[in-house]
């Protein structure tokens, strides 16, 4: 029998939140500017209840509006100003009673992404992590939106076991085509026949030999020619960087990520939200059971593939490839971006980038996904990892490869990975190497103690778990930073050199860091041909310029996007704007800003498809696509994107055809 300790929301300090006790629980009204509930108290007694012996904090909640509801739960200590906190961002589907459990073991921040449960969307753990015994406040924050939010919290409690998370008494919200049922919008597909006629007409006009007009066969700029090497490479002309295509022509990469036949939606435990009951036996290509993937295992349904099946039957994949290749050329995208279908890449004969899979790791980690980089295990796994490039050797259409995407350890603001080496109780090769580094630098333990303001008897004392050494003294901070740079350089160099041995011709496009929280993340950049970052900002120029100036390398944006709430989805995007017209304007502003940097060589829009209404594997369900679930293009957005893509080389030369448009931006609308 589980123990439950109920938290009275009326005991919280409310900032901007109106709380009303109702028979169903607590009715919350949050203004558009957002608000928060603050539960303070002595460590172990937050919110007026004793936390000892409890394993989960649970919110039983219904979001009453028609958009995803997001929460941020922050646990803080007296040292919160120095980053001593744990931040949990999460979201739930609207109008569905959802049980949202937070395992208290997650507060150490060793895990970043949490498996979905029914009704729950994406959940991310940020911050350095804390011990619950030190927490003096828990803050439930509701983010800024462009509308007043209404939430019913049925219960908020602690328990000593994972609760039942099943959703009950749900009604369908997704129609037979995979669209949200309870909203109409301009461009919504009204029927299967409507979709069929549109796709069949477009396929009939397919021209298999179509190429980019007034461009090289790769989409390069015919007015600027450099050395032709037979492969993509970089060039600096004394003023700005550019890529060069295999035939020697200047190339700015305008890409579209995820050129796949749709995004699979997670339906485990929420099948009742679907209006049409289809089976894997009837449409096997549209279903996927991912038992092998661990944290995101479960049943998935790809409505986009289901729709292609309904229109084209067994020929659906070929039809999709023909349509998509034609569209990329028509829209002016000269690059097939990350995570795209390999069969389509081989068919399309267009430039592409490739994401390496299974970045080398070790059984024992330093922090999150950061491996024991000085171990022989890491070196051996890097050799195995690099072997996947063998199938791409000699392919002239391949621009290059990304080593990985958004390392989880790099999401923590102010992180010194060397701190985690000595915090970690495990006997790692990194720890041995760090102790050797310190012995060599200081020579004797007295010198280290004087610099760090410690009382170690010998260097071997550092084998025991330490508090963050960067907090000991200025000298200790300098040592933590220096060895962190050494570790990150090793992290990058070992797999980079292994890849170069397998494939010396294609470019190493870097790590695709989510953001440059610290210049330390540039360590190892000498291994890259291009430094890549993902750019979810209205203006990417500052990050491009920063990365370029610090690395001396050309810079590529691996992902960016803009979404709007006017197209019937439950979430807009990380970068949200008001309308489809604003999406097009934002695309232009983004590219024109990027072109102001001499380091910029390309950006890839994320992504071809909208995300599923009920959320993909991790819960994202945004309106970010070039096409919707019915493969209908967002023509208003794409008209402007295509115009920018057509002008890309003029923009590179500093030419502007029109005044920069204004963009009506709205607060971030996304389910986490």
Same domain, 373 and 468: yes
> What's the first-to-final CA gap in the chain, in angstroms?
32
- Give the pLDDT score at 294: 61
Laid out side by side, the sheet with 241-244 consists of 221-225, 249-251, 241-244, 233-236
Angle (CA) 368-369-370 rounded to 5° is: 95
Residue 481: inside a domain, yes or no? yes
Residue 344: inside a domain, yes or no? no
Domain that includes residue 441, residue range: 365-502
Same domain, 8 and 150: yes
How far CA 111 is from CA of 52, 107, 117, 229, 382, in Å, comes to 22, 9, 16, 44, 23
- Give the pLDDT score at 84: 84
Same domain, 334 and 223: yes
Same domain, 526 and 565: yes
Same domain, 413 and 324: no
Q: Is 475 left (phi over 0), alpha (psi -120 to 50) or beta?
A: alpha
What is the CATH number for 22?
Answer: 2.60.120.430
Residue 345: inside a domain, yes or no? no
How far CA 157 is from CA of 6, 86, 162, in Å, comes to 4, 19, 12
* Closest by Cα among 425, 416, 532 to 476: 416
What's the structural domain count of the chain?
A: 3
- Give the pLDDT score at 404: 97
- Give the pLDDT score at 297: 85
Burial of 242 per CB tally in 10 Å (0-12, 13-18, 19+)? buried
Residue 476: inside a domain, yes or no? yes
Same domain, 11 and 154: yes
Cβ atoms 174, 613 nearer than 8 A:
yes
Average pLDDT across each block of 10 residues of the chain; the chain has 672 residues. List them in order.
Answer: 91 96 96 96 92 96 95 92 89 96 95 93 93 94 94 97 93 97 94 98 91 96 97 97 98 98 95 94 91 74 98 98 97 98 98 98 98 98 98 98 96 93 97 98 98 98 96 97 98 98 98 89 96 96 96 97 96 97 98 96 98 96 98 98 97 84 93 80
Same domain, 296 and 371: no
Same domain, 276 and 371: no
Q: What is d(CA 323, CA 258) in angstroms, rounded to the nearest whole number?
A: 15
Residue 237: Cβ within 10 Å count? 11
Residue 8: inside a domain, yes or no? yes
- Give the pLDDT score at 293: 55
3-state secondary structure 170-198: CCCCECCCCCECCCCCCCCCCCHHHHHHH
Same domain, 527 and 642: yes
Find the radius of gyration of the CA atoms of the chain.
26
Same domain, 33 and 145: yes
What is the CATH number for 251?
Answer: 3.20.20.80
Same domain, 16 and 130: yes
Residue 421: inside a domain, yes or no? yes
Domain boundary among 451, 470, 502: 502
Residue 659: inside a domain, yes or no? no
Sheet strands (E) in 438-544: 507-508, 531-533
Same domain, 234 and 371: no
Cβ atoms 165, 146 nearer than 8 A:
no
Q: What is d(CA 334, CA 329) in angstroms, rounded to the nearest whole number?
A: 7
Residue 345: Cβ within 10 Å count? 20
Residue 111: inside a domain, yes or no? yes
């Amino acid at each position: 029998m589980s123990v439950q300790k109920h938290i009275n929301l009326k005991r919280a300090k409310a900032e901007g939140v109106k709380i009303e006790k109702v028979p169903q629980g607590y009715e919350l009204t949050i203004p558009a500017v957002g608000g928060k509930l603050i539960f303070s108290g002595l460590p172990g007694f937050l919110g007026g209840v004793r936390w000892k012996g409890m394993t989960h904090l649970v919110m039983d909640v219904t979001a009453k509006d028609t958009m995803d509801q997001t929460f941020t739960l922050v646990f803080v200590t007296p040292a919160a100003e120095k980053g001593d906190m744990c931040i949990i961002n999460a979201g739930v589907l609207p109008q569905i009673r959802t049980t949202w459990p937070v395992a208290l073991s997650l507060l150490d921040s060793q895990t970043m992404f949490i498996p979905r449960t029914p009704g729950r969307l994406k959940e991310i753990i940020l911050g350095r992590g804390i011990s619950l015994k030190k927490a003096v406040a828990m803050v439930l924050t509701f983010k800024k939106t462009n509308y007043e939010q209404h939430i019913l919290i049925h219960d908020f409690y602690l328990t000593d076991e994972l609760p039942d998370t099943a959703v009950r008494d749900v009604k369908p919200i997704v129609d037979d085509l995979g669209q949200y049922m309870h909203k109409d919008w301009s461009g919504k597909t009204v029927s299967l026949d409507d979709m069929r006629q549109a796709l069949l007409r477009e396929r009939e006009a397919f021209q298999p030999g179509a190429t980019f007009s007034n461009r090289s066969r790769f989409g390069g700029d015919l007015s600027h020619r450099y050395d032709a090497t037979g492969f993509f490479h970089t060039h600096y002309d004394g003023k700005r960087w550019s890529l060069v295509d295999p035939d020697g022509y200047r190339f700015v990469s305008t890409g579209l990520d995820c050129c796949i036949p749709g995004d699979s939606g997670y339906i485990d435990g929420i099948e009742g939200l679907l209006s049409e009951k289809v089976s894997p036996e009837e449409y096997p290509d549209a279903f996927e059971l991912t038992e092998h993937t661990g944290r995101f295992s479960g049943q998935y349904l790809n409505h986009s593939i289901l729709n292609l099946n309904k229109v084209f039957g067994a020929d659906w994949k070929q039809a999709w490839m023909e349509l998509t290749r034609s569209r990329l050329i028509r829209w002016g995208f000269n690059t097939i971006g990350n995570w795209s279908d390999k069969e389509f890449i081989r068919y399309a004969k267009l430039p592409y980038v490739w994401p390496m899979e299974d970045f080398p790791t070790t059984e024992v980690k330093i922090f999150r996904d950061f491996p024991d980089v000085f171990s022989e295990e890491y070196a051996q796994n890097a050799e195995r990892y690099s072997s996947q490039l063998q199938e791409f050797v000699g392919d002239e259409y391949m621009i290059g490869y990304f080593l990985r995407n958004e390392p989880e350890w790099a999401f923590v603001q102010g992180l010194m990975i060397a701190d985690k080496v000595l915090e970690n109780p495990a006997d790692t090769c990194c720890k041995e190497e760090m102790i050797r580094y310190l012995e060599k630098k200081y020579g004797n333990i007295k010198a280290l103690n004087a610099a760090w303001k410690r009382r170690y008897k010998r260097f071997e004392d550092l084998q025991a778990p330490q508090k963050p050494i960067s907090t000991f003294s200025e000298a200790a901070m300098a040592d933590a930073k220096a060895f962190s740079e050494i570790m990150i350089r090793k992290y990058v160099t070992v797999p980079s050199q292994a890849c170069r041995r397998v494939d010396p011709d294609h470019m190493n496009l870097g790590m695709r860091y989510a953001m440059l929280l610290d210049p330390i993340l540039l360590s190892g950049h000498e291994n890259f041909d291009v430094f890549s970052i993902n750019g979810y900002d209205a203006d990417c120029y500052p990050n491009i310029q920063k990365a370029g100036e610090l690395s001396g390398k050309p810079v590529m944006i691996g992902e960016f996007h803009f979404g709007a709430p006017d197209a019937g989805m439950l979430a807009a995007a990380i970068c949200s704007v008001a309308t489809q017209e604003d999406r097009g304007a934002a695309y232009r502003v983004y590219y024109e800003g990027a072109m102001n940097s001499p380091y910029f060589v390309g950006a890839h829009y994320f992504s071809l498809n909208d995300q599923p209404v009920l959320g993909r594997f991790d819960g994202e369900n945004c309106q970010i696509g070039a096409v919707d679930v019915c493969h209908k293009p967002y023509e208003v957005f794409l008209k402007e994107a295509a115009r920018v893509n057509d002008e890309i080389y003029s923009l590179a030369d500093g030419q502007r055809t029109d005044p920069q448009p204004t963009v009506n931006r709205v607060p971030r609308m996304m389910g986490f």
